[in-house]
Amino acid sequence: MTATTDGSAGPLPPRATSASERTDRAAGPAAAGPLDPVERVAARTAERATAHLLAAQHPDGWWKGILETNVTMDAEDLLLRQFLGIQEPRVLEAAARWIRSQQREDGTWATFHGGPGEISTTVEAYVALRLAGDEPTDAHMATAAAWVRAHGGVAATRVFTRIWLALFGWWKWEDLPELPPEIIYLPKWFPLNLYSFGQWARQTIVPLTVVGAHRPVRPSPFPIDELHTDPAVPNPPRPAAPLHSWEGVFQRLDKALHAYRKVSIRPLRRTALGVAARWIIERQENDGCWGGIQPPAVYSIIALRLLGYDLDHPVMRAGLASLDRFAVWHEDGSRMVEACQSPVWDTCLATIALADAGLPADHPALVKAADWMLQEQIGKRGDWSVRRPELTPGGWAFEFDNDNYPDIDDTAEVVLALKRVEHPDRARLASAIERGVLWNLGMQSKNGAWGAFDVDNTSRFPNRLPFCDFGEVIDPPSADVTAHVVEMLAAVGLRDDPRTRRGVDWLLAEQERDGSWFGRWGVNYVYGTGSVVPALIGVGLPVEHPAIRRAVAWLESVQNADGGWGEDLRSYPDQEWAGRGTSTASQTAWALMALLSAGERDGKAVERGVRWLADTQNEDGSWDEPYFTGTGFPWDFSINYHLYRMVFPVTALGRYLHGEPALLAAPLGEAA
């Protein structure tokens, strides 16, 4: 995997010591003396963690941890309210309190805990605090503004930040990349059609084409000259890239799109805007959100408002109400906005964890969780059917309400969870599992692997658009998702199916030279390796297989001196950080899950990892984990899943104590 060095990343942490190097255990709440057998320590730690996790289950059967991202969610929520004229003083002050609490000592805001200052995040946070009444002369504001100017000013921010600024006249619309609403007409075979984008980008781009077509400007409540390197020239011209480069080609395409705006056929544009409005409304979920995630909801509400929808219109009322459900109110009165909510994901992972920790398969908590997951299975077609029109629905989504976008990863893990539950309605359970498996098999890409939401979503053209600088906008297959599907297929009796074997071959070919696997949806090589090794063992690869031994050697080589594992998000832009970072409960568990499946239960690396989990456990059975170990877009958008610190340690400790899960694979019907 090729990576570039990010000069702002700061000093690297010390290299991890060899896994064979012993360290004394630090005294902790779960410690019981250095001579205690590790099994006893693990059992006590697992018992306390299991009790804590059980207590977190909702009466309806689901789990949901906080999904923490960065303050752009909070800033954009306030900017939306300002744009719509619905600012509430209580919300404004509570959000500002949260934003202030996340400011770093150098005046900036980062996109993950312990990360470097990020200019777009800092600009958006600064403007949000200005809305809340903070003045440029306030010390924390002056420090932030000075840092922004030193790093290129507003002109150095991402396109999305400048779009928000343009809504209030703080940036010129004509200085933004153009993406016309007519893109909705492009056929699916066209290299840059709407379905070339990943589902999250697709849902965001359609409403933004409406916003860009209208170019609205609301009165600005204050100037932001202090954020420009030169207020007289806020957007200095940039030299054109060579025509023979992709950057040069797409720069000139953007110029052509700007020219098209001036000569576009007005009836065609009006019709395109109408089609975009229908596209947006048709994808609104029953709870009012769009795709179960905050960004498309925000932009869809703005787009529909510009198209004439009154704030009292049912679509708008439902959309605004859905945004309120993303708010988390803290005890100190601050308010944080989640980018998304993850109940299906959290529930299937919690079910797997508790079952592997020794709860009986018919335990009421597991049966109740299975009941809830069964009712969440999706029976309608979504955008995925554009590429797979003949495929029968049967997947699960990540969120409470997101029937348009089930995902392959959740579906695989839900099936693995349901396989662990002895449900009283066996026929219903078997039917749900079969439909989920068949849907996942139908979503296999042509290279034998699986992406998250779509099939063969691999065109590189969308990423090259000047408009698309906000993170990954396509959904190619990844090792972690493919591994989860392969593990699931083995569990349902399809380990020798040709489709499974193609997935295995792809995984083996994707192994890095050092023995790890890249992690697309979790940080990073520890997550990828922790996902792939159990899957390969599950389909029958022997523990002596060279790929398994290389993975074990890599995990041992990056174990921290304290016995845990950690990996910083800087491993995405800079591979020198691969497998390196402060130990966390979730990443230690991922490493243990891989090592345990590879037959390393009695090895020193596993013992030290188990003891690290025991030594760092809190009195209530939980773990502290401020570090972000989840990934939205590698490096650009990071996630701290607050339940990861529970579900994965419980799973790892359970497998240490009880062995690998013995899922009796009952073959599916002939349809499989």
List residues with catalytic annotation: 409
CA distance 412 to 389: 21
Axis-axis angle for helices 294-306, 72-84 (nearest 10): 20
Place of tokens 């077609």: 381
CB 195 within 8 A of CB 387: yes
Longest dimension (CA), the chain: 81
CA neighbours closer than 13 Å in the CB half-sphere of residue 661: 32
Please state, as a whole number, how many other Cβ atoms lie within 10 Å of the Cβ of residue 145: 22
CA distance 292 to 316: 16
Return the closest-CA partner of residue 128 out of 222, 192, 48.
Answer: 222
Return the closest-CA partner of residue 605 out of 539, 646, 659, 551.
Answer: 551
CB 287 within 8 A of CB 192: no
DSSP 432-465: HHHHHHHHHHHT--TTS---SSSSSB--SHHHHS
The DSSP element (H or E) to which 327 belongs, if any, is strand 327-329
Phi, psi of 68 (to 5 degrees): -100, 135
CA distance 185 to 166: 26
User: How buried is 186 (Cβ within 10 angstroms: 0-12 exposed, 13-18 middle, 19+ buried)?
Assistant: middle
- β-pair partners for 407: 396
Phi, psi of 248 (to 5 degrees): -65, -40
Cβ within 8 Å of residue 250, ≥6 positions away = 464, 465, 466
CB 201 within 8 A of CB 251: no
49 DSSP assignment: H
CA distance 290 to 286: 9
CB 588 within 8 A of CB 613: yes
Phi, psi of 565 (to 5 degrees): -125, 150
